[in-house]
Chain A
Amino acid sequence: MFELLGVPPQVLLGQLLLGLINGSFYAVLSLGLAVIFGLLNIINFAHGALYMAGAFVAWMLLHYLGIGYWPALFLAPLIVGAFGIVLERTMLSRLYHLDHLYGLLLTFGLALIIQGLFRNYYGISGLPYQIPDLLSGGHNLGFMFLPNYRAWVVAASVLVCFGTWFMIEKTRLGAYLRAATENPVLVGAFGVNVPLMIMLTYGFGVALAGFAGVLAAPIYSVNPTMGEQLIIVVFAVVVIGGMGSIMGAIVTGYMLGIIEGLTRVFYPEGSAVVIFVIMAIVLMIKPEGLFGRPA
């Protein structure tokens, strides 16, 4: 079963698909982190909690208001993003003149609060969220069975990643953003409202986490700890990719998801640590990360 070439193709491709899906979440989450880090210089430790909140908001929309998956896919990120903007205005904005570490500590505290509140009200046992009718079922590709919803998750995440990359690297707004990360004072002097841009950037990054949460809701059970397991892996992805580029976050996210999936086929015991092992190797060879600029 675990010999290199003795693996049945169904197992191999199944795990590859699983890895690709995990990779989609890694990519969207580390992309959000990268966007926030770029302009705010804050590692958003609350990212995992906000991803979890996205899944919960989708669940709540369905159960309390009867709003289904498709509207939730837009509403939940908006709600989570708006919540993020409130956090940025009331708390994070007070820390920009301080050491970066305080941003990390503050968002860590926020993560504890958000997770604790959800755990108090919903327990840790996880709530089911149905796959939307349109995407239930799957296709038999001959060599494997491809569930529609999983294909959609990969497609949606690729689309969102590409859209974000395009916006930041190719549009005028993105140019302002990139300029503001280099020199906010100068960009402000040109008449660009930098504080507003920072606020919206945080909101957008957080909304990406919320979006990933909604995507995840039908796959994983919606539970308060779903973010805390993921966020540390995403941090490792960020270290491996290097925060220098948006592209780095995306490519590394998918790549590591796939590597993790392959490890699950050939050496299952190692699948939980393989990303951290890769991180150690990358730190030894190229400390600034695969796509990062040397400090």
Chain B
Amino acid sequence: MAMQDKTTDIAPVVQTAGMPALHKAIFAVMLAALIALPFFVYPVFAMKVMCFALFAAAFNLLLGFGGLLSFGHAAYFGGASYVAAHAAKVWGLTPELSVLCGAAAAGVLGLAIGSLAIRRQGIYFAMVTLAFAQMVYFVALQAEFTGGEDGIQSVPRGDLFGLIPLADNIALYFFVLVVTFGGILMLYRIVHSPFGQVLKAIRENEPRAISLGYDVNRYKLIVFTLSATMAGLAGATKSQVFQLASLTDVHWSMSGEVVLMTLLGGMGTIFGPLVGAAMIVTMQNYLATFGAWVTVIQGVIFVIGVLVFREGIIGVLSRWLKRPL
């Protein structure tokens, strides 16, 4: 109860009213570009970028704003894609319900793993999340419904609300656009809410946040669950796009990839993860012929990012413009 009061006390001081004009403009341009995009590039590629942008944004909520490095986010992304694929294929649910099922499952999983992981801090936290994600990977590999090495293939795209068929790529594109863009706006809202401000306070100085009376662990658990749910939303949507849920999405290299996207774009910025995701997905798409060299290139980007480019692209841009992006 006392905590609730403090939250509302603090909010007006640190929070600006509404969305800054600059952010509004960027979101508007982004939306306009995304509406036009499928007529210029291959829609499936564009959908993949959007799914990963949402995934990275969800991850960034935890790392960039909560200061918690989860190294196991593939568990929620991939886990949700399995659940959504199963819901669509075996239960015959409509696309929107399948996606919601996936996201909900990821949320429950996030709540369970998060409640254990937040008992440790820093690098231990990272290792615990990684180890649990590995457990999810083994389940995906061995459980009956996941199809083992084959994954769940030829997932039907179904009809949106039972009415609008999504078999056409353009129709599906706009469904994905609504889901991912909506998800990103929701994450924006969370970051700029009083809850988001408390998160930043915990990230900056945890002992101080505790001494101010915040139940830090509760905040951490909530943000972990939210992040897992949104990551699940992204993964579930991806399984609809590719009509496939596979081990790739639950493997720990996927957890590494989302860290890379966030690091490259800029941790703790709003637009960084989106840019990072777009860059990495584009890179993988065009360098696919190089085979394992892609891994090496990603490793090099990681190393350079950590050594000389910690702010990321949008972080640097934001510093130049002297405006938070």
Interface residues of chain B, those whose CB is within 8 Å of chain A, are 69, 71, 116-117, 119-124, 126-128, 130-132, 134-135, 138-139, 141-142, 252, 256, 259, 263, 291-296, 298-303, 305-307, 310
Contact = CB atoms under 8 A, between A and B. Distances in A.
A124 to B, nearest CB: 9
Nearest to B256: A108
Most chain A beta-carbon neighbours within 10 Å: one of B71, B299, B302: B299
Interface in A271-295: 272-273, 276-277, 279-280, 283-284, 287, 295
Given A109-B306, A236-B134, A276-B134, 4 more contacts: A101-B123, A105-B306, A109-B298, A243-B124
Contact of A117 (B141, B256, B296): B296
Contact of B130 (A232, A280, A295): A232
A89 interface: no
B127 A273 contact: no
| Main SS class of interface, A | helix
A232 B252 contact: yes
A289 B292 CA distance: 37
Interface string A105-120: 1101111111111011
Chain B CB within 10 Å, residue with most, of A104, A119, A238, A295: A104
A110 B131 CA distance: 20
Contacts of A243: 124
A108 B127 contact: no
A216 B61 CA distance: 41
Given A110-B303, A269-B142, A283-B119, A239 B263 contact: no
B126 A101 contact: yes
B252 A119 contact: no
A102 B123 CA distance: 10
Contact of B131 (A103, A104, A232): A232
A116 B296 contact: yes
A272 B295 contact: no
A173 interface: no
Among B124, B256, B300, the most chain A Cβ lie within 10 Å of the Cβ of B124
B292 A235 contact: no
Contacts of B121: 295
A110 B124 CA distance: 20
B256 A235 contact: no
Interface of A: 43, 91, 94-95, 98, 100-106, 108-117, 119-120, 232-233, 235-236, 238-239, 243, 269, 272-273, 276-277, 279-280, 283-284, 287, 295
B299 A113 contact: yes
Contact of A111 (B120, B123, B299, B310): B299
A108 B123 contact: no
Contact of B300 (A109, A115, A280, A283): A109
Contacts of A238: 127
Contact of B302 (A105, A115, A119, A277): A105
A43 B126 contact: yes
Contacts of A236: 127, 131, 134
B293 A109 contact: no
Contacts of A239: 120, 124, 127-128, 131
A119 B290 CA distance: 12
B131 A116 contact: no
A279 B306 contact: no
Closest 4 CB pairs of A and B: A109-B302, A112-B299, A113-B299, A116-B295
Nearest to A271: B138
A116 B293 contact: yes
7 contacts: A43-B123, A101-B123, A114-B299, A119-B292, A120-B291, A283-B128, A284-B116
Contacts of A269: 142
Contacts of B134: 232-233, 236, 276
A120 B138 CA distance: 27
B299 A109 contact: yes
Contact of B295 (A43, A94, A119, A233): A119
Most buried by A among B122, B131, B296: B131
A242 B296 CA distance: 32
Contact of B128 (A108, A111, A279): A279
Nearest to A269: B142
A235 B296 contact: no
Given A94-B307, A239-B131, A280-B132, A113 B296 contact: yes
Given A272-B142, A283-B120, A235 B131 contact: yes
